[in-house]
Structure 1
Amino acid sequence: MITFKRTDSSHPDFIQLVALLDADLATRDGEDHAFYDQFNGITDIGHAIVAFREEIPVGCGGIKEFKNDMMEVKRMYVIPEARGTGMGSAILQELERWTAELGYTHCILETGKRQPEAIALYKKNGYTVIPNYGPYEAMKNSVCFQKDVSFSKNQDQ
């Protein structure tokens, strides 16, 4: 059984999963890792989700305000053993629900071209590619996405 815990970035399981994510990204991003790492701190993430299967943490994600009507999805990760099971989509959909519950209408995010699994996940879940934003504007390795999640609030009622 899969359960989600809504928490913040101080939760020990979230911190542990983000450490695994950072190790993976250091390998994938190579020389670009130091640039991306500066935008991937977790202290500003007030809304974090940890996914558990049989009480074992298997994935995480977070959201933080980007603009008045928009949350930025951050620190999405699923352990290798749980990939291909729909876990990433489940975490993302829970983050979208939470975003809508908080009154925001859109999610925005950045991922890297060296993360084809992440790109496929976001496209599969209805995210559309947008021009690179903020600190990622000049990064050729970045791909940015956006999705209207205002529907999520209405679906749950």
Structure 2
Amino acid sequence: MFNEREMSKAIDWLFELFSPEDYEGYDEDEIGYAGGLCLPEVCTALRGAAQTVYQYSVAGGYEKCFNYRGMELFDQRACLIISDVEQAVLDEIKTTYETELWLMEDMNFAIVRCVSMLIGSDDTGYVTEYRAFKKILKSAEDLFFSPEELIEELESMCVPQWEHEATIYEL
């Protein structure tokens, strides 16, 4: 179950994996604890993003479209923290290969590979996604993103709260 205390500890642990040299222009006063983020807001945003993650899924943007969900990737819900596009082909069909970091309900971080294809527009097309679990994040060597990218991603999740558009959860 996602709760603020456990989520804050997990996010803090993630930031502890970075050394001061990993930051561009590191300033301890400026960066501070957990990248200078407001962790209660981040935890609320992540709680709202919790979902069941599937190995394979198909979803359409039409009213009576075909939707499909395969086997669950994890035996628990998870929140997508960050994703890094490793390869993309953008033509009639948008195809991407990404590495993703998911925070699972047991507060472990899972590294996942995702191949997705989008046919049509973002809102009325079909998207198919295939995900494969790679491993649990254990050390700094497993990181595939910079601390600035992580901070930017987590801050962007909080925008709906700042704009008073987010659902409020009791954590």
The structure carrying a bigger helix percent of its residues is 1
TM over 0.5: no
TM-score normalized with structure 1 length = 0.29
Higher relative contact order (CA 8 A, sep 6+): 2
Question: For the pair shown, which has the larger CA radius of gyration, 1 or 2?
Answer: 2
TM-score normalized with structure 2 length = 0.27
